[in-house]
Amino acid sequence: MPRVTSRPRDRRRHRDALVEGERIRVILNADDFGRSAAINEAVRRAHEEGVLTSASLMVAGDAVDEAVELAREMPDLAVGLHVVLVDGSAVLSAAEIPHLVDGNGRFPNDIVRMGVRYAFHRASREEMARELEAQFERFAATGLPLSHVDGHHHLHIHPTIFAQLVPLAEHYGAQGIRVPRGELWLNLGYDHAMLVTKVLWAAALWLLSPWCRHCLRGRGLSVPRRVYGLMQSGQMHEPYVLRVLQQLDVPSAELFFHPTISPIAEPSGPNGADLEALLSPRVRQLICERDLLRSRYADLGLDSEER
């Protein structure tokens, strides 16, 4: 593989440049595992027939028991915890966390509202801490090794939540944590749709990603250099995935998807096109041509320079 050079004035690119002969590790992950039978089947197919290497489990999902059984039948599939603190079901009852969920035990689908509540409302913060630990405990009860931790709608990088999540991840034996860090210009070069949303996400990541990585210094948790999917959530189609894989020039990266076999696609969530990308012969061929290593969080190791 040719050496990737960098301009001296661009310190970030210099730091991220590959060493000659180094192979790039790529995690290909499916979020929302356990949310539905349609998603579970898509994860199974993407792993057994496609390029998927890991999945993130919703421990209070409607089809979580089936997902756990499937994971046990696929020992090469790394499984992590998909923390849900917005737009989903809680592990604890509504009586235990009344400031967070409705009478049916569901979090509101309002990231801004919940983010403010976790930041400034003491009772909500205390209930969040209990629910967070309950989700780790529920995952531990499955007996599956904990590959990694990430969050539904990426609310896990909220400073109040992240401070609680990191020690729990260590305690329960996680190998890594997802810290989103994509490239705005690559996304805009591919698709100008949702321009304002992408710019806002990029700004949030610019503020939060360095802080999250700073919090992980000295911790035994792996973090990929790049994470792709946030600005294309629900739109990880084959052309975009090929574009990302072709341009990768960092030692490690994660691409996360929302695959499903359901014909009903969600605008920013599970959709059939994500599954098609994971099953794509062209994607598999490019991975082989570039000699990319399909990997899991456990394969990354630690990189003190990056953090």
Q: For position 196, which CATH number holds?
A: 3.20.20.370
pLDDT tens across 129-156, in order? 999 999 999 999 999 999 999 999 989 9
Using only C-alpha atoms, the chain has a radius of gyration, in whole angstroms, of: 18
Residue appearing with tokens 């999540």: 165
pTM for the model: 0.89
CB 16, CB 225: distance < 8 Å = yes
The answer to whether position 4 is within a domain reads no
CA 9 to chain centre: 31
Q: Give the per-residue pLDDT at 11.
A: 37
Residue-wise pLDDT for 183-192, tens only, equals 655 655 556 5
Mean pLDDT, rounded, of the chain: 88
H/E segment holding residue 295:
strand 293-295
- Residue 59, pLDDT > 90, answer yes
25, 249 contact by CB (below 8 A): no
Round to whole Å and give the CA distance between 189 and 144: 39
* Cα distances (Å, whole numbers) of residue 277 to 27, 85, 232, 289: 14, 28, 13, 17
Kindly give, in sequence order, each residue whose CB lies less than 8 Å from that of residue 143, ignoring residues fewer than 6 positions away: none
Residues 131 and 91: their CA atoms lie apart, in Å, by 7
Average pLDDT over residues 87-115: 96
Q: What local confidence, expressed as pLDDT, does residue 190 receive? A: 57
- Residue 136 structural domain: 11-299
Determine contact, residues 67/296, Cβ cutoff 8 Å: no
Q: Is residue 212 part of a domain?
A: yes
User: What is the total count of domains within the chain?
Assistant: 1
Q: Is residue 5 part of a domain?
A: no
Domain assignment present for 307: no
Would residue 232 count as lying in a domain? yes
pLDDT tens by residue, 158-184: 999 999 999 999 999 999 999 987 665
Q: State yes or no: pLDDT of 305 exceeds 70.
A: no
Beta bridge partners of 257: 30
Whether 6 is covered by a domain: the verdict is no
DSSP 106: B
Alpha carbon distances (Å) from 120 to 110, 125, 160, 161: 16, 8, 9, 12
* Residue 2: per-residue pLDDT: 33
Residue 89 in any domain: the answer is: yes
Cα separation of 36 and 65, whole Å? 10
How far is the C-alpha of 207 from the C-alpha of 223, rounded, in Å?
Answer: 17
pLDDT at position 189 is 55
| Domain membership flag for residue 279 | yes
Strand partners, 294: 26
